[in-house]
Amino acid sequence: MKRRLLMFLMMLALMAFAGRLARGQSSSAGSITAAGATCYTTNACITLHFPTSSYLLPASASIAVSGTFVATLQFEQSGNNGVTWVAATGSPQPAGGGVTLATAAGLWTFNVGSLTDLRVRASAYTSGTAAIVINSSPSGGISGAFANGTGTGYQDIPEIATPANPAVGYDRLYVSSITGYLTCLTAGGANCVGAGTVTGTGVANEVAYFTAAQAIASDAGLTYDPATGLIIGGTGLGNITPAALPGAPVAGDFGILAGSPDTFWFFNDTAVRYVIATTNGKMRVFHSFEGVCQDTTASFPFDLAATAVPSAACITGTNTLRRAVLDFDADTDELVEASIWLSDDWTATGGVDVDVEWQAAATTGYTVWAIQTSCVADAEAFDPAWNTASTVKDAAKGTTNQRNIASMTGVDVTGCAANERMFFHFWRDADDGTNDTMAGDARLVALRFKTRWTP
């Protein structure tokens, strides 16, 4: 009798568990406090990527918006895992016609049976916080998921944003939509601590735990220290062998420059490279502005006026394919503008330096380069007054078209502070007839800013 009662209770538990999975929902929640044309802008989007399992495919979804804000929130959907996005039509609840955007709090439902993603993106933002919750409901249960007759199977787990902490006494297992990692979260918000030993030799996608000081199969020079939870090298923590920059780095590449063991570089994209180096306990961040050539068409990441601007050109060498330059006139001041968003831990104590990479056909005379900065804080107008200009007088090389580097140390950044947008305009001071004496165009190759922040 006891055995029958136990089996009956186990069946009830399994039925309840299956029912919960059949009704399970995927969700994503967060706050929008900025606008962006894409979701690369921080806090401009909340996105839900739907599960791809056949038994968890969503049939419907809802978007709940709350809070006090002044913004335009676009409802958008994707059917190809976020490669392209189009407007999504939602039905306001409890009643109303379909809409593709919202400017106030509310609840909308969507038919998402054939979609892969649903998101809310702020196309315009003025103030406040829009709290977003996106929920999806799967169309079916888990029947047949593991019933292949061999005792094996698989379980698809949808990627989600970091969920809330579980209740005391529970751990929460999920796949992070940010990192793509299978993650375990404790009631206190920490990562779960696993147990077990390392087996195998680096099998792809293998889940392993470390319990003792063991060599990692992929690199015998690295060891896991369970006392600190750190991976250490043979002579210290986090060893990276210095090397030269690769010839064609791609987004995400990083390393230590050979000959400068304190210099760390990170390649962000095809136009801007960020380099960080220690300087008296602070870090220097390099922002590089340089152009690209598409065949014979050159472009630079600068804002330009309708007149009095340098002309862009592409140079073709005997060995190099293409190189973009901006030609600054010898008689008329020509100007470019751009801006940098200073980090929230930036400090002006070490100042801001600017390096100018340029060349010229002339072999005699001097060129005067000039720059002015101004900064805009949160809730300030995007029309600040410029600081005093900083200049550098640099001689032409004795050989035509050789690489030339001029540096301005301690550029005036009065009024600038952490997390502000620093605007600058840059020009050749051609009307300074006393100091700018080089004939012909001065060709700008790149500008490099060195700002400092405290690690």
**pLDDT tens sequence across 389-412:** 999 999 999 999 999 999 999 999
Q: Give 196's DSSP letter.
A: -
Give tens-digit pLDDT for 97-129.
Answer: 899 999 999 999 888 877 888 999 999 999 999
What does the alpha-carbon distance between residue 326 and residue 336 come to, in Å, rounded to a whole number? Answer: 10
Confidence of residue 249 (pLDDT cuts 50, 70, 90): low
The model's pLDDT over 30-52, given as tens digits with 9 standing for 90+, comes to 999 999 999 989 999 999 988 76
- H-helix or E-strand spanning residue 78: strand 69-78
Residue 91 has pLDDT above 60, yes or no: yes
Rounded to an integer, what distance in angstroms lies between the CA atom of residue 198 and that of residue 219? Answer: 14
Band (pLDDT 50/70/90 cuts) for residue 309 is very high
What is the reported pLDDT for 150? Answer: 47
Q: Which of residues 280 and 437 earns the better pLDDT score? A: 437
| Assigned CATH for 24-138 | 2.60.120
Specify whether the CB–CB gap between 105 and 97 falls below 8 A: no
Please say whether the beta carbons of 118 and 48 come within 8 A. yes
- Per-residue pLDDT, 246: 67
Selected from 1.10.10, 2.60.120, 3.40.50, 1.10.3470, the CATH number assigned to the domain covering 285-453 reads 2.60.120
- Residue 15: the pLDDT is 40
Using CA atoms, how far apart are residues 451 and 349, in angstroms rounded to an integer? 10
Domains 24-138 and 285-453 share a fold: yes
Indicate whether 416 pLDDT > 80.
yes
Q: Please report, for the chain, the start and end positions of each structural domain, with discontinuous segments joined by +.
A: 24-138, 196-239, 285-453
Task: Tell me how far apart the alpha carbons of residues 400 and 443 are, in angstroms, rounded to a whole number.
Answer: 12
What 3-state DSSP class applies to 61? strand
Mean pLDDT within 241-268: 63
Question: What Cα–Cα distance (Å) separates residue 108 from each residue in 34, 62, 86, 307, 379?
Answer: 21, 6, 17, 49, 32
What is the average pLDDT value for the chain, to the nearest integer?
77
Is the model's pTM score more than 0.85?
no
- pLDDT for res 200: 40
Quick one: residue 269, left, alpha or beta (phi over 0 = left, psi -120 to 50 = alpha)? beta
